[in-house]
Structure 1
Amino acid sequence: METIDYKQNISTQYCFPGNNQSCKKEVRGSPAYIFLFIVLSCISVCTVFLNLLVIISISHFKQLHTPTNLLILSLAVADFLVGLFVMPMKIMQVYDSCWYLGKLACSLTEIIIGILVLASLCNLVFIAVDRYIAISDPLLYSTRVTPLKMSVSIIMGWSFCLVYVLVFMYCNDHLYPDQMYNTCYGECIVFVKFSWTIANMIVFFLTPCSSILILYSLIFNMARHQAKAVRAAMNSHGQGTKVSNSSETKAAKTLGVVIFFYLSFWIPFYISSLTVTSLTTLSVLWTVFTWLMFINSFVNPLIYAIFYPWFRVSAKYIVTCRIFESSSSNMNLYRSH
C-alpha cells in the first residue's frame, strides 16, 4: 500500500513574519484540504439557508404563531447563527492555523460559540418537554402551554446559556483577554480544567441527552397505548389494525431519528473531550468530532421542520417570493393537497 506523506503538502510559514513571538503558520493546500474546505463551506451555506427558511416561515405566517413553533423558531435562530458565524470561523481555522483577530476576538468568539451550541441543546430539550405535555395532557395543553409562557421559557433558557458560558470562561481564565495564555502570537486556544470538562459533559451532554431519551420514551409509550385504544375502538369497522400500525410506526420513526442523530453527533465529541485539555484545531480527530457537533445545526431543521407539511408549503411560498403578496401572512398552510 502506498504511503502518502502529507507533510510535503504543508508549507511552514509564520502568522506574523515581523513578530519574533509569532506562531508557525500551516497553510494546508493539498487537494484533500481543498475538498474539505469546499464541503464544509457547502454545509455552512445550507445550514444558513435551511434555518433561514424556518425563521421566515414561522415569523411571517400567522398560522404558525404557536408555542411549539416558537421553540422551533428559537432552535432555528441558534442553528442559523452557528451556520452564519461559527462555521465560517472554524472553516478558516481548518484552512489556516493562524488566528489574526487578537485575544479579545478570540475570547468573544468562544463565548458566542458556547452560547449558540448550548442554546441549541436547550431548545431540543424544550421541544421534547413540549411534545410530552401535548401527548400526556392534550385537553389542557392550550391552557398549560401558552405563547407567553413559552416566550418566557425561551428567554430563561438563553439567559442560562449566557450565564453558564460566562462563568465557564471566567473560571478557566478566558473571560478577559489579559487572562488568556498563549504559547505564541497568533493562536486562539481555550485551556479547560478537568473539573470543567466533567461539568461540561454533565450540562452539555448527559443532562439533555437523558432528558430527551426519557421524554421521547414516554412519548413513544403513550402513543403506542393511544394507538391500541384507537384500534380497539375501530375494530368493529375493520380499520383498527391499520390505524394502530400507522401510529406506532410514525412514533417509532420519529423517536429513532431524533435519538440516532443526537447521539451520533454528540457522543464522539464528549468522549474525546475527556482526553483533551486544550481546545484547538490542530488535531484532525478533534476537528472531525467538533464539526459533527456543528453539523447537528444543519440536521436540526431537517428533523424538526422539513418533516412538517407546513414547512414544505411555506418554503415554496418563500422561494417563489409569494410572501410579498398582500395578505400572504394569512395564507392557509394546512390545506389538503
Structure 2
Amino acid sequence: WRSNNILLVVLLCYPHLGNSSCRRIMYSHSVSVLLHIILSSISVLTVTLNLLVIISISHFKKLHTPTNFLLLSLAVSDFFVGVVKIFLIFLIDGCWFLGADWCVFYIALSFVSTAASIGTVVLISVDRYVAVCDPMHYQTKVTANRAKICIVLCWLCSTIFHTVMLKDNIEHPGGFDSCAGGCTFYLPPFAGVVDLLCSFIIPISVIVILYVRVFMVAVSQARAMRSHVAVVTLQNSLKVNRSELKAARVLGVVVVVFVLCLTPLYLVLLTIGLGVESASSYIFVVGLFFFNSLLNPVIYAFMYPWFRKCVKCVLSLQILKSGSSEANILEHLLKCCF
C-alpha cells in the first residue's frame, strides 16, 4: 500500500497463505549476498577445521591422552555447532522452509551441542587443575578411561536434560509457531531458570575458581624457578609441572575465549527475561558464541605443533597408509607439546 508517497512492500514466506504466513525480512541484494557468503564461509571453516581435529586425535594413537580426548569432545561439539550455522543460513530472511521436524532437530542440536561444549570446557578446567595443582597424582587420578567416561556422561546428561526441556516441542513439532514459515520453540518458565543455572552460572563459577587456582600455582611456580629455591628432590616434579603449565596456558586461552564468547549471550538473554530486548544485540551475541567454535581449532593451529603436523598428514592423505595410526606424531615436538 502507498501512504504519503511512500511505498511499503510486505513480502510473505508463503504468499498463498495470506495473513497466516510469516513476514519475510527484506535485504538489498548486496547485503543478502554478503550475509550468505559470510555465514557460509564461517560454517564451512568451522566444520572443516573441527573435523581435522577429530580425525587427527582419533587416528593417531600417540595422541590418545586424557587431555586430548577432552579436546576431541570439544571439537565434536564445535563441529555440530558448525552444522547448526548451516541451518541458520535458511533463517537469514526470517523464513523456515525445511518443515517442523527439521526445525525441532535444529533447535535440539543447538541446545545439546552447546551444553556439551560447556560441560567439556568444565572438564578441561578440572583436568588442568589436577595436572598443575596435584601433578604427583595426575597419572593415577586422570586416566584415559575416566576421561572417556566423563565425556560420555557429559553428552548423555546434555541430551537427556534438553530432551526433557524441549519435550513439548518434540511432541508437537511446529505447534508453537505463530505463523507459517516460522521456527520457534517453547520452554516452560522454570526451564529457563534451570538452564541459566546449569549452562552458565554453575559452569562459569567452576571454571573461574579452578583456573584462578591454576594461575596462582603457576605464578608461585615461576617465582620459585626464577629464585632458584627449588631443591634437587623437587626437580623432577618441577619438570612435570613445566610441561603441564605449557598445556595449561594453551587451554587457558581456549577457556578464556570461551567464557568471553559465552557471557554476553547469557547477559542478553537475562535482559530479555527482564523485559529489555534488542534484536540486533541478540543476533550479535549468538553469532559471537557460534564464532567461538571456529576460534578453538585456530588456537590449536597457532599453539599446537602436533596439530599442524597432523593437518599436513591428513591433507596429504598419509593417514591412508597402513600403520600410519602408529606413527609417533609427537616426535621432535615433545618440548612443545604436552
TM-score between both structures, scaled by the size of structure 1: 0.83
Aligned-partner Cα distance in 1 for 2:77–2:149: 17
Does the CA contact (< 8 Å) of 1:269 and 1:293 recur in 2? yes
Distance apart, 1:182 and its partner CA = 2.0
Q: How does 1:121-132 map to 2 (within 5 A)?
A: 121-132=118-129
Q: 1:74 to 1:137 in 2, by over 3 A?
A: same
Question: Where does residue 239 of structure 1 map in the other structure?
Answer: none
Asked if the contact 1:57/1:315 (under 8 Å) is kept, the reply is yes
Correspondence for 1:219: 214
For residue 178 of structure 1, report the CA deviation from its aligned partner: 5.6
The answer to which of 117-126 and 201-210 deviates more is 201-210
Residues 1:112 and 2:109 aligned together: yes
1:258: Cα distance to partner?
3.8
1:60–1:329 contact (8 Å) kept in structure 2: yes
Report the CA distance shift for 1:255/1:82 in structure 2 as closer, same or farther (over 3 A): closer
Cα distance in 2, alignment partners of residues 315 and 178 from structure 1:
41
SS in 2 for 1:329: helix
Q: Closer, same or farther in 2 for the Cα pair 1:174/1:224, shift >3 Å?
A: same
Q: Alpha carbons of 1:231 and 1:162: their partners in 2 closer, same or farther (altered >3 Å)?
A: same
- What is the identity, as a one-letter code, of the residue corresponding to 1:123? T
State whether structure 2 residue 202 is matched by structure 1 residue 204.
no
Deviation digits for residues 28-84 of structure 1 (CA, Å, limit 9, x no counterpart)? 34423322321121111111111111111111111001111111111111111211x
Q: CA deviation at 1:260?
A: 4.0
* Percent of aligned pairs sharing the same letter: 37
Aligned residue number for residue 87 of structure 1: 85
| Letter aligned with residue 119 of structure 1 | A
Deviates more, 1:20-29 or 1:203-212: 20-29
- Which residues of structure 1 form unaligned runs of 5+? 1-6, 237-242
Aligned to 2:151: 154
Instruction: State the one-letter code of the partner of 2:204.
Output: C
Alpha-carbon contact 2:69-2:148 (below 8 Å) kept: yes
Structure 2 counterpart of 1:276, one-letter code = I
Which of 203, 223, 228 aligns to 1:228? It is 223
Aligned 1:1-337 pairs, distance under 5 A: 12-20=10-18, 21-83=20-82, 85-94=83-92, 96-170=93-167, 173-177=168-172, 180-233=175-228, 254=250, 257-258=253-254, 260-276=256-272, 283-304=279-300, 306-336=302-332
Distance change (3 Å), C-alpha of 1:105 and 1:269: same
* Residues 286-295 or 297-306, more deviating: 297-306
Alpha-carbon separation, structure 2, partners of 1:193 and 1:98:
25
Gaps of 5+ in 2: 1-5, 232-238, 334-338
Q: How many aligned positions are there?
A: 316
Between 1:56-65 and 1:326-335, the stretch displaced more is: 326-335
Aligned partners of 1:255 and 1:110: how far apart in 2? 29
Code of the residue aligned with 1:323 in structure 2: it is I
* Shift, 1:300, TM fit: 1.9
What is the Cα deviation at residue 155 of structure 1?
Answer: 0.7
CA contact (8 A) 1:216 1:255 kept: no
Distance 1:257 1:65, change over 3 A: closer
